[in-house]
Amino acid sequence: MYDLHTHTILSDGELLPTELLRRAAVLGYDTLAITDHADASNLAHLVEAVGRVRDSARCYGVDLLVGVELTHVPPSLIPALARDAKRRGADIVVVHGETVVEPVAPGTNRAACMCEYVDVLAHPGLITVEDAGIAAERGIALEITSRAGHNRTNGHVVRVAREAGCPLTVDSDTHAPSDLMSKDARQGVALGAGLTEAESREILSRDVKRLLQK
């Protein structure tokens, strides 16, 4: 199992990075990305801080992906910050997409989909087929999320991703201990978003390292 979108006390989550890793290990996760909310003020600190718990992740048998979620960053600044995150050693860059429950700046989805340094567009709301097609060309995945509110548009995201041939991930956007999903819960989110059983199996067992190789 994998989760490419989680938060810790380094932003607005409830757990230390190591606590989150331990809980993920107990649930059977193979890969976990820690992607705390980032902008120009804290990006460097987040990449460095999460990188310090790689040894803990190895001890618990979890492949840690050090990452950030660029959040409410002006669209024009996304490329430079995403590049900076990768330059500093981030394994994954997530962008906080245009969810329908927050005032995300218009154009955020497009900027993320056009950026070679972005890996996942989180909760992209009512993303257009055109933007999803751009993401598909660059190997950027769109997120199906279990997060309340953000998940209102999961069905739309699935339909658009199918039409555009864009990869999907199923993530929790974890902030609290109870947010991490079990295997059955992940399947429920996938099927509830309108994916077929075959599609769900493929996406939930995805080789995320291959996904992240642009």
pLDDT tens digit at each of 214 positions of the chain = 999 999 999 999 999 999 999 999 999 999 999 999 999 999 999 999 999 999 999 999 999 999 999 999 999 999 999 999 999 999 999 999 999 999 999 999 999 999 999 999 999 999 999 999 999 999 999 999 999 999 999 999 999 999 999 999 999 999 999 999 999 999 999 999 999 999 999 999 989 988 888 6
Are 185 and 193 in contact, with CB atoms under 8 Å apart?
A: no
In terms of Cβ atoms closer than 10 Å to its own Cβ (0-12, 13-18, 19+), residue 54 is: middle
Strand arrangement, sheet containing 92-96: 2-3, 31-38, 63-70, 92-96, 120-122, 141-145, 168-171
154-164 and 129-137 are packed helices; what angle lies between their axes, rounded to 10 degrees?
60
Model confidence pTM above 0.75: yes
Token digits of residue 177:
């201990």
